[in-house]
Amino acid sequence: MKEADFLIARPASDGKSQRFVLGETGFSFSGSDRPPSVMDTWTSGTGLPAGARDVLAKNPQFVDIVGLVGVPTGSHKQRPLFAGWILARASSGLVSVAIRDARDCTAGRLADDAQFATEAAQRFAAETVVILVQAATDKEAEIGRKALEKTFGTDVPELNRLYLSRRSSPPVWIASLSGKS
């Protein structure tokens, strides 16, 4: 049996297959038939997505980062999933990571994600906060990059690169990730 690399909290199920409605069309899919989401790789429990690990590893303090516990944020009834949080471990200490799907990215939602991740960092004594916007395409990632700039009042000139958003305690790092990471 293959074990997950880290734990993912999931809502309790009554054993019935949930249905997911596709827009206002009336068409619905069972959970296994629904269109893929960029958040699926984050919530699969198979570890941090490779693209995100590559971006984080460019900073020496995150070179060996691994997830410990992941939690979908927002409503459990919300499908597809648009946000999540992971408590991760690196040699530099614990890291509170918030992830937002670029398709559901606004400055207000990113501010909420940052507040959630910062409060979680304080609760679990994490030394660092990371806010990531995950996109399937460069166009979506560009939307996420602009939302990060607006939310944190800082320049984010490149996609797939980690930036220190402000000098605070704990430090907050941000990045807009393109492609399926």
Question: pLDDT at position 74, please?
Answer: 67
Going residue by residue through the chain (181 aa), what tens digit of pLDDT does each one get?
Answer: 344 556 565 554 434 444 444 444 555 545 555 556 777 777 776 788 989 999 999 999 999 999 988 888 865 555 567 899 999 999 999 999 999 999 889 999 999 999 999 999 999 999 999 999 999 899 999 999 999 999 998 888 899 999 998 767 789 999 999 975 4
Q: Report the C-alpha gap between 6 and 122 in whole angstroms.
A: 21
DSSP 61-122: GGTT-EEEEEEE-S-TT-SS--EEEEEEEETTEEEEEEEEEGGG--HHHHHHHHHHHHHHHH
Question: pLDDT at position 27, please?
Answer: 52
Q: Report the C-alpha gap between 181 and 93 in whole angstroms.
A: 23
The separation between the first and the last C-alpha atoms of the chain, rounded to the nearest angstrom, is: 25
Q: Which two tokens stand for residue 73?
A: 């944020």
Question: pLDDT at position 60, please?
Answer: 94
Question: pLDDT at position 120, please?
Answer: 96
Question: pLDDT at position 13, please?
Answer: 46
DSSP 137-174: SHHHHHHHHHHHHHHHTS---SSS--EEEES-SS-EEE
Global pTM value: 0.80
Question: pLDDT at position 165, please?
Answer: 86
Question: pLDDT at position 181, please?
Answer: 47
